[in-house]
Amino acid sequence: MDTPNIQTRRLILRPLALSDAPAIQRHFNNWNIIQNLPFVVPWPYPDDGAEPFIRQQLEKIAAGEEIYQWVLALKSGDGEAIGNIRFTPKPDQPTGNRGFWLAEPYWNKGLMTEAIAAVNDFAFRTLGVESFYVSNAVSNVASRRVKQKTGAEFVGYIELPHHNGQTKSERWRVTRESWLGRSSNSFRR
């Protein structure tokens, strides 16, 4: 299935496209974002880092890999990409089934929580996924909060080196049963 367009209260999630390269290059090339990510992301970020990344993702998708790749845009904005979510629901992959980042000026307004709730609905209601695993560095308070607010259950620690030197990571499981069975707003605090 292709990555669908999804609308939330404040956001449009639309499939990643080559035309998003300038906005991603501008917003993602930021130590405050990349320090929280594993070494698979290069730092210093190359001047032309976004375009080859997008090309590679689109090639993998065209080759049949099950990768859902969205950019986030504000409904109230000009349509520019201000963030990215990657979702790869592979049951045999114990971590890294989802990745996300948001441009720094938009942090702490609940936007990623809103987007991830919609992606959970897509995963569990549309795709019928049973469960998947996600992770974050133990130092990444914001990413942990997004997980806590969107139904993830803490399952333990793994070793995964991040740019900021943090190697201890939290591992979480998100299940269909838990997400669909939640009462309204039960994961918000």
The two three-digit tokens of residue 31, written as one number: 């130590």
E strand segments, 11-124: 11-15, 68-74, 83-87, 98-102
Nearest in space to 47 (alpha carbons), one of 25, 30, 31 = 25
Least distance in Å: CB of 99 to ligand COA? Answer: 6
How many angstroms separate the CA atoms of 32 and 28, rounded? 9
53 lines the binding site for ligand COA (CB under 6 A): no
Residues in 108-127 that interact with ligand COA by CB under 6 A: 108-113
Least distance in Å: CB of 62 to ligand COA? Answer: 26
Contact mark string toward ligand COA, 82..111, x via CB under 6 A: ------------------xxx----xxxxx
132 lines the binding site for ligand COA (CB under 6 A): no
Q: Is 33 helix (H, G, I), strand (E, B) or coil?
A: helix
Give residues in contact with ligand COA (CB under 6 A).
33, 36-37, 100-102, 107-113, 136, 140-143, 145-146
